[in-house]
Amino acid sequence: MSERRRVLFLSAGNGHALHEGVVAYAHEADWILDNQMCYSGELPPAVKADGVICRHLFRKDILDFAGALSLPAVGFEESEALPIPRVYYNEGEIGRRAARHLLARGYKTLAFYHRGGAAGQRPRMEGFRAEVEAAEGTCILLQPPENGSSHKGDANPWGWLKEQLDAIRAPLGIMAVNDLVAGPLVDALLDFGYRVPEQIAVVGAENDPMLCNVASVPLSSVESCPRRVGYEAARLLDGLMAGEAPPAEPVLIEPGEVQTRVSSDTVAIRNLHAARALRFVWHHYREPITVDSVSAHVPVTRRRLQTLFHDHVGRTMQEEIARVRLADACRRLKQTSMKIQEIAAAVGFSSSLHLHRSFQSAFGMGPKLFRETGEVPDFGVLPAQVGGQPLAG
């Protein structure tokens, strides 16, 4: 029986999902993994290892320590001081996916927000801009001036942003370089009096639930797949320790799609009243709402709102309510074993008969036959709670 390999994981910070990926591979490969630095933040006093995984975040002490070991090594960040094989995110594709998400929602004017110095921001920005320009949209770069920032302690930390936004007509879609800066950006937009997402939609990157789910407006974000990055780095190191040649180029991990939350759960609509009505429908369609219910939450007359909604959305409010309910019912019929009467109640239909009549009108068949033989059509852009993760039950 061969001796178990020992691997040292040097990390300047405990990125939990990335760490989980390394641990998952280590468990499969039966490694002894020294990952104490992820918790202590301190370099190990003595080293007995067969290989090294290095998340140095450009810390000189880690770079020097790892370089002196002369062991097979894999890193995440690129550094001339430690030229080792690298596994990392496909940063350009992260930017492109955020852009496609916003473009699909009808945004023609899009912006990329960064604060300077964030890792990966340039390729993310370039990918975002390339996708916007390929779609013949307008791409704007939002960045604090060199003599200012958006950090606490500044007398007017967001004044620069307010000046730029005043020159841009809503609706606007913004990608923030990562979730860490997207949250404060949304707070600033709300302080300015903008409605998110009705006037300005925001998408972050890295999909960190500990940031996205607790923001003042829950943040949509590109899933960067850090767990897979950690797993593939460990697998690459395993090959190097077995004598395989290192790859000629960095191994780039493709991101997932945007996890849609409230901050971009809409479509681009120039009229704020129509945009607010659409948000109300999307948020409440599973309840017994009517056109009057929607009108009661928008400060214009019912007749005026009906006109504005049809002109800017292309459907009546009642048609939109029916559309999203029908889409939700289709998904539940195909993805769950829920009874038809349960589905009708869950998605806002007044009865199973109402659901049956809607399916007959839309598809020429009832919901039972649709479940067995029907195909879900392209409904277009839908609320996140309809187009999200597969349902269980």
Q: Are residues 47 and 105 in the same domain?
A: no
Burial class from Cβ neighbours inside 10 Å (0-12, 13-18, 19+) for residue 45 reads: exposed
**Confidence band for 390, pLDDT divided at 50, 70 and 90:** very low
Q: How far apart are CA 335 and CA 337, in angstroms?
A: 7
Q: Are residues 95 and 201 in the same domain?
A: yes
Q: What is the mean pLDDT of residues 287-310?
A: 96
Q: How much of the chain is helix, strand and coil, in % rounded to 5?
A: 45, 15, 40
Q: What is the mean pLDDT of residues 156-180?
A: 93
Q: Are residues 96 and 214 in the same domain?
A: yes
In a domain, 55, yes or no: yes
- How far is CA 164 from each of CA 142, 159, 160, 169, 376, rounded to the nearest angstrom? 8, 9, 7, 10, 43
Q: Are residues 326 and 280 in the same domain?
A: yes
The enclosing domain of 280 has a CATH number of: 1.10.10.60
Cα 184–Cα 186–Cα 188 angle in degrees, nearest 5? 70
Q: Are residues 198 and 319 in the same domain?
A: no
305-348: per-residue pLDDT in tens?
999 999 999 999 999 999 999 999 999 999 999 999 999 999 99
Torsion angle of the four alpha carbons 161, 166, 168, 174, in this order, in degrees rounded to the nearest 10: 30
90-137: per-residue pLDDT in tens?
999 999 999 999 999 999 999 999 887 655 689 999 999 999 999 999
Q: Are 207 and 97 in contact (CB under 8 A)?
A: no
The enclosing domain of 24 has a CATH number of: 3.40.50
Q: Are residues 217 and 133 in the same domain?
A: yes
The enclosing domain of 171 has a CATH number of: 3.40.50.2300
Q: Are 198 and 262 in contact (CB under 8 A)?
A: no
Q: How far apart are CA 209 and CA 143, in angstroms?
A: 25
- At 240, which helix (H) or strand (E)? helix 226-241
Q: Which two tokens stand for residue 321?
A: 């309510």
State the total domains in the chain. Answer: 3
- At 140, which helix (H) or strand (E)? strand 138-142
Is 60 exceeded by the pLDDT of residue 280? yes
Is 70 exceeded by the pLDDT of residue 388? no
Is 80 exceeded by the pLDDT of residue 149? no
Q: Which two tokens stand for residue 179?
A: 């979730």
Q: How far apart are CA 226 and CA 255, in angstroms?
A: 9
Range of the domain at 49: 6-84
pTM: 0.91
**Confidence band for 156, pLDDT divided at 50, 70 and 90:** confident
Q: How far apart are CA 91 and CA 114, in angstroms?
A: 14
